[in-house]
């Protein structure tokens, strides 16, 4: 699914995850993006450069503390996510369609437990 959907936009899973966070929050600090994606700030910086080149986001420094950098989604980035997310979500639904509702709920609960216990 990742290759089928994300490759059309030249995005990696981490880049998609980052765009998703930006789509939800519109603007977010790089430190929080790194925590959310489970990668280093250096990785976020490299991905941000790539996404800026595609005009999907831009960086800006905090006016009060220049050490803090925010990444903000552009209009083009919003359009890409509005096209991409429904297609990606459809693939996710298809993946679990063979499971009973109870099995889906159990898997969701187990994944949430893994996330909570590992501070993801």
8 Å CB contact between 31 and 24: no
Which fold is adopted by the domain 2-117?
Arc Repressor Mutant, subunit A (1.10.10)
Mean pLDDT of the chain: 88
Burial of 77 (0-12, 13-18, 19+ CB in 10 A): buried
Burial class (CB in 10 A: 0-12, 13-18, 19+), 19: buried
Is residue 101 predicted with pLDDT exceeding 80?
A: yes
Q: pLDDT digit string (tens) for 40-99?
A: 889 999 999 999 999 999 999 988 988 899 999 999 999 999 999 898 888 788 888 899
- Is pTM beyond 0.85 here? no
């Amino acid at each position: 699914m990742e290759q089928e959907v994300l490759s059309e936009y030249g995005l990696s899973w981490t880049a998609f995850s980052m765009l998703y966070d930006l789509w939800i929050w519109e603007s977010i600090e790089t430190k929080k993006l790194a925590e959310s994606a489970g990668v280093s700030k250096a990785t976020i910086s490299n991905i941000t450069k790539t996404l800026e080149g595609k005009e999907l986001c831009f960086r800006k420094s905090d006016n009060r503390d220049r050490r803090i950098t925010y990444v903000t989604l552009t209009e083009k980035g919003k359009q890409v996510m509005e096209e991409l997310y429904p297609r990606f979500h459809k693939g996710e639904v298809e993946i679990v369609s063979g499971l009973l509702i109870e099995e889906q709920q159990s898997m969701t609960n187990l994944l949430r437990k893994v996330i909570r216990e590992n501070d993801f």
